[in-house]
């Protein structure tokens, strides 16, 4: 029960912060990138609550059901991160067709996840873990590997757009852009560590804690110049 309460506190704090920042940005900002920013914040809240319910579930079937919900957050957050980074940098304009082409693989991966019991391409096998925070252990299939490659590609592209913007922006704006780069870099780092599984902290817990820190920094860096008017 203490572990569940701990995760519930993290999820609640993350939800309050992310929902509050999403509301302020969506309603008060005039910048185009406010929309992917707000949706990214809400995706993080989905990840946190689904992970909590996944870890707290007593049987494997229920854990996998909540894991499917959790992946809605992950698969939405990946293209949203890229859309935010590109729109924030302002160097490239993404049309609706380009955005759809980037998002279509996410939908395909989610279908593969939902239909995994019929082909086992995403998870070859699963079993309940002895570690509460890991929830369940899995042997990953080729579809999961493809998902990781897709995730790394989008995260890398997003960070490349932000770093390029930082290098070319004027000195007057470099501090704000630097904070945005640092916040996004923190998000990319915790997600990458989650994939590599080379850390002692369980992946989803690490991601949730990383989001808690990075969200405020991301908001300040992205909308700091509008804070007074907001």
Lowest mean pLDDT among 46-60, 99-113, 140-154, 173-187: 173-187
More confident residue, 225 or 5: 5
pLDDT band at 201 (very low <50, low <70, confident <90, very high): low
Mean pLDDT over residues 26-50, rounded?
87
CB atoms within 10 A of CB 162: 25
pLDDT at 117: 93
CB atoms within 10 A of CB 129: 15
pLDDT at 92: 66
pLDDT band at 205 (very low <50, low <70, confident <90, very high): low
pLDDT at 202: 60
Report the alpha-carbon angle 42-207-86, nearest 5.
60
Mean pLDDT over residues 43-62, rounded?
90
pLDDT at 141: 94
CB atoms within 10 A of CB 60: 14
Alpha-carbon gap, residue 168 to 173, rounded angstroms: 10
Alpha-carbon gap, residue 47 to 138, rounded angstroms: 19
pLDDT at 195 over 70: no
Name the phi and psi angles at 136, rounded to 5: -145, 150
Give the residue among 10, 9, 165, 132 at the shortest CA–CA distance from 63: 132
Lowest mean pLDDT among 103-112, 121-130, 142-151, 203-212: 203-212
Instruction: Tell me the sheet residues that pair with 136.
Output: 128
Mean pLDDT over residues 27-33, rounded?
81
More confident residue, 224 or 197: 224
pLDDT at 105: 94
pLDDT band at 114 (very low <50, low <70, confident <90, very high): very high
Contact 158, 192 (CB under 8 A): no
pLDDT at 122: 95
Mean pLDDT over residues 181-209, rounded?
68
pLDDT at 229 over 60: no
Per this entry, what is the length of the chain? 230
Q: How large is the greatest C-alpha to C-alpha distance in the chain, in angstroms?
A: 56
User: Which of the listed ranges 70-74, 85-89, 93-97, 178-182 does the model predict with the highest average pLDDT?
Assistant: 70-74
pLDDT at 121 over 90: yes
Alpha-carbon gap, residue 75 to 104, rounded angstroms: 10
Secondary structure E strands in the chain: 123-128, 136-140
pLDDT at 1: 65
pLDDT at 39: 92
DSSP 170: -
More confident residue, 108 or 173: 108
């Amino acid at each position: 029960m203490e572990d569940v309460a701990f995760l519930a506190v993290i999820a609640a704090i993350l939800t309050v912060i992310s929902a509050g920042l999403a509301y302020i940005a969506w309603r008060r900002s005039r910048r185009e990138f406010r929309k992917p920013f707000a949706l990214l914040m809400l995706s993080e809240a989905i990840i946190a609550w689904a992970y909590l319910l996944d870890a707290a579930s007593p049987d494997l079937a229920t854990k996998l059901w909540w894991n499917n919900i959790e992946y809605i957050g992950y698969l939405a957050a990946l293209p949203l991160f890229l859309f935010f980074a590109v729109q924030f940098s302002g160097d490239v304009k993404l049309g609706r067709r380009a955005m759809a082409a980037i998002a279509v693989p996410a939908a395909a991966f989610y279908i593969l996840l939902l239909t995994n019991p019929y082909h086992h391409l995403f998870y070859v096998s699963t079993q309940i873990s002895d570690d509460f925070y890991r929830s369940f252990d899995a042997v990953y299939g080729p579809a999961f590997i493809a998902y990781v490659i897709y995730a790394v590609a989008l995260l890398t592209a997003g960070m490349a757009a932000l770093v390029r913007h930082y290098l070319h922006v004027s000195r007057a704006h470099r501090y704000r852009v630097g904070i945005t780069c640092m916040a996004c870099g923190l998000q990319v780092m915790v997600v990458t560590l989650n994939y590599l599984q080379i850390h002692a902290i369980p992946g989803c817990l690490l991601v949730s804690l990383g989001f808690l820190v990075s969200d405020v920094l991301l908001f300040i860096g992205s909308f700091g110049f509008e804070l007074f008017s907001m």
